[in-house]
Amino acid sequence: MLKVKELTVCYGRLPALKEVSLEVQEGEVVSLIGPNGAGKTTLLLTISGILERTEGRISFRGEDITDLNPHQIVTKGIGHVPQGRHIFPTLSVLDNLLLGGYRKRRGDITDDLEWVYHLFPILDDRGHQRAGTLSGGEQQMLAIGRALMTRPTLLLLDEPSLGLAPGVTEDIFSAFEEMNKRGLTILIVEQEARFSLAISHRGYLLRSGWLIKEGPAAELRESQEVKSLYLGQGGKRA
Amino acid sequence: MTPWSLIPHLLTSGITIGAIYALVALGFVTIYRASQIINFAQGEFVMLGGIITFFFLRGGGIPYPLAALLAVILVIIIGLLLQVLVVYPLRKASVLIPLMATLGASIFLSNTSGLIFGTLPKVLPPFSGERPLEIGGIPIAPQSLWVLGATFLLLITLYILSHRMLLGKAMEASSTDPLGAELVGISRNLMVLVAFGVSAGVGALAGIFITPIFYTSYNSGTLLGLKGFVAAVLGGWGKNGGAVLGGFTLGIVESMSVAFIPSGYKDAVAFVILLLILYIRPKGILGSPFIDSRRW
């Protein structure tokens, strides 16, 4: 479904991603893990067309999307929940969701809205509250809901658990599983590799811009590299 | 005649010009909120609105309402071109550079207007006669009422656009969180383009309504633009309500000053107010979401 081929992205002259290739198949949940500064966010922002690539191609459902604008990529069916959530704080919760459906005609959005409210009922209750007044967990739910309103077939999630209480993180990850059961393909970036690998089919490990390991999620979870990097157990330091 | 007996007249003319300052200030705010750019060509939209209408009416013999409509459309196109040709290519530069560019565009527009339409001041006929109406013993030019009515309607329209329509909310979203907006498919460049179109349209209408009262010449946009900017800062930079309040306050204070100091100093009043507000209360009367008061 998504194919990234030998992608290199530079900030100025400094490369942040070096010849990274990865694939996401329809219906999969794929984890992209790696330490801070590995280039995970850079990769997602480049897929969405926010950052410009230096080398390489990106295709989605057989179509080359490398040189499209962010708003064109959204309409192709790639939703993106950015790190730090980036909701619109001065607008109401409902307006945030409606803007997610900005590219669609009005009649089409009721089903999407119902689906979001089914996943995150709190957003229905808080509809007329200013989004900036929501708690961190609620803002994350809103950011996910807003991305779902663009009616994506592939959802990019950037650090969805960042700064959230463990209980809230569990709720959000079970929502991801439900979304995936309904047919949504997910590419998820996480530092908390435990959470994301638990719901993923496959995973990629990224370090300082290089792709260093890939494989089924269960296998990756047991590998020495992942254990020593994230889970603070095993590895050389133990 | 004592200065005090002049007050009612000065008040009505102050309110009238205040309405125009308010519209110019709203133009500044609309563009700033969408793009963080201060468009110093804002006053030129007003000048062009008046002068192009005059050209169609006198030169082309086109009926007044049609001439006005054509002028508004033409000025909106000029506003859009300003964004596409001047502001858009500089979208990655720091904020000072597009600001300088709009200042340059302002000089270009006023001199081009002087070349094409001549440098003599123009005046349009009033919409509905010249005979003043007596309201409470004060004679009021009917055109002043037109200006106030039009300002009121434009304010309501802008309010509906920015608070009731999804397009306005998309503009706000794009200015408060550009990344979040891009990721749901709201193109920032398109929003900035819309803001330039709206500001140009509002400016042109202001010019058409005011030209029957004050002479408009090719170079009157600069001063009007600067005063609209002062009004926007005075009311609270970045706030629509602040722009309106600042516009009327500036118009009234400036007009009243004529009763007490020689009228030649009238234009200086606005800039003295600007200096005072920057010293004493930089965030303006209503406060500004863009100016951090803790820094002052």
Cα separation values, A117 from A172, A184, A219, B241, B257, Å = 13, 17, 35, 35, 59
Instruction: Write out the residue range of the structural domain in which residue B147 sits.
Output: 4-127+139-280
Asked whether residue B133 is domain-assigned, the answer is: no
Closest-CA residue in chain B for A148? B184
Confidence (pTM) = 0.86
Within-domain flag for B37: yes
In this prediction, residue A91 has a pLDDT band, given cuts at 50, 70 and 90, of very high
Q: Is residue B295 part of a domain?
A: no
Region A115-127 average pLDDT: 95
**Structural domain contains residue B234:** yes
Does B169 contact A98 at a Cβ distance shorter than 8 Å? yes
Q: What is the pLDDT of residues A94-115, one digit of tens each?
A: 999 999 988 876 567 888 999 9
pLDDT at B95: 83
Q: What is the ipTM of this complex?
A: 0.90
Number of domains in chain B: 1
B287 belongs to a structural domain: no
Q: Which residue of B has its CA nearest to A74?
A: B185
**Phi and psi at residue B188, to the nearest 5°:** -60, -40
> Inter-chain contact B181–A88, Cβ cutoff 8 Å?
yes
Count of CB contacts below 8 A, A vs B?
Answer: 71
Torsion, Cα of B87, A51, B191, B113 (10° steps): 10
pLDDT for the residue A238: 35
The verdict on residue B249 lying in a domain is yes
Q: With a cut of 70, say whether residue B137 has pLDDT above it.
A: yes
The tokens describing B158, both together, are 């802008």
Distance CA(A130)–CA(B259), nearest Å, equals 48
B230 touching chain A per CB within 8 A: no
For residue B1, what pLDDT is reported?
A: 56
Which one of A79, A86, A98 has the shortest CB-CB distance to B180?
A: A86
Tell which of A78, A97, A99 to mutate to test the B interface (max B CBs under 10 Å): A99
Q: Does residue B134 lie in a domain region?
A: no
Domain of B91: which CATH number?
1.10.3470
A235: pLDDT strictly greater than 70: no
Give the minimum alpha-carbon distance from A147 to chain B in angstroms, rounded to a whole number.
7
Residues of A in contact with B186 (CB under 8 A): 71, 99, 102
> What SS3 state is found at B153?
helix
For B91-115, give the DSSP string.
TTS-THHHHHHHHHHHHHHHHHHHH
Residue with token string 């527009």: B109
pLDDT at B202 over 90: yes
Positive or negative: CA dihedral B265, B269, B270, B276: positive
Mean pLDDT of B238-257: 93
Q: Of chain A residues 52-81, which have a CB less than 8 A from chain B?
A: 69-71, 74-75, 79-80
Q: Residues of A numbered 147-186 whose beta carbons fall under 8 angstroms of chain B's beta carbons: which are they?
A: 147, 149-150
Residues 6+ apart with CB under 8 A from A33: A40, A189, A190, A191, A193, A196, A197, A203, A204, A205, A206, A220, A226, A230
For residue B293, being part of any structural domain is answered with no
Question: Cβ contacts (< 8 Å) between A71 and chain B: which residues?
Answer: 182, 185-187
Choose the mutation target among B165, B184, B190, B194 for the interface with A, i.e. most A CBs under 10 Å: B184
Containing A212, the helix (H) or strand (E) segment is: strand A210-216
Q: How far is B231 from chain A (nearest CA, A)?
A: 24
- Cβ <8 Å between B166 and A99: yes
